[in-house]
Amino acid sequence: MSYYDDETGRPTRKGVVWAVVIAFLLVVVLPLGLWAGGVLFAPVAGKAQAYKDKHNATNWTQAQAGFESLYADAQKFDRQMDDAQATLDQFKHDNPEWKQAGPYDALTEDLHNKETVVTGLQQQCRNTVADYNARARTYTLRDFRSGDLPAKLGEDESTDCVATPSPQPTNS
């Protein structure tokens, strides 16, 4: 049985039907089947890809370096904030007239600049602590924190992002 007419050389009705069926299968059914298979196996494939991403050497080394850097930055910003707070306290001690200064007085401007530095350092410290803590909970990063680093920042004095009260300002 041939799909072509021997006399005319043209496809028979049966040949045309089979060609349409095959084209339909290739154009519609096969892509839908591939899509459905992708949806069906997506959870398994996603977990496998996440596992591969997590244990990639680049991820591992960058995660360790990132934790070290964020921890050092949080400590640095906390210390800088303590220093800025001490400078602000000393300024207030040395310039008691700041309480009576007008809003456009140079003394008020200096005071506000010093307060802004303390506030900015506190915000930067809090952002760094939040970044560290978020990375510490992330699936692809959490296992690569060095053993000597804390699981969470902000719980001890060196990373609490609160200005440590300075001792009584000195007379200068």
pLDDT > 70: percent of the chain: 96
Give the pLDDT band (50/70/90) at residue 122.
Answer: very high
Return the pLDDT at 1.
Answer: 57
Return the pLDDT at 43.
Answer: 86
Mean pLDDT confidence for 160-167: 84
Q: What does the mean pLDDT of the chain come to?
A: 90
Of the listed ranges 95-104, 105-114, 121-130, the least confidently predicted one is 95-104
Of the listed ranges 10-19, 32-41, 136-145, 146-155, the least confidently predicted one is 10-19
135 three-state secondary structure? helix
Return the pLDDT at 125.
Answer: 97
Mean pLDDT confidence for 34-62: 88
Mean pLDDT confidence for 48-67: 91
Long-range contacts made by residues 73-76, C-beta under 8 angstroms, separation at least 24? 73/128, 74/125, 74/128, 74/129, 74/132, 74/153, 74/158, 74/159, 74/161, 75/158, 75/159
| pLDDT, tens only, 63-91 | 999 999 999 999 999 999 999 999 999 99
Question: Distance (Å, rounded) from C-alpha 118 to C-alpha 39?
Answer: 52
Give the pLDDT band (50/70/90) at residue 46.
Answer: confident
What is the reported pTM?
Answer: 0.71
Return the pLDDT at 172.
Answer: 59
Give the pLDDT band (50/70/90) at residue 3.
Answer: low
Return the pLDDT at 109.
Answer: 94
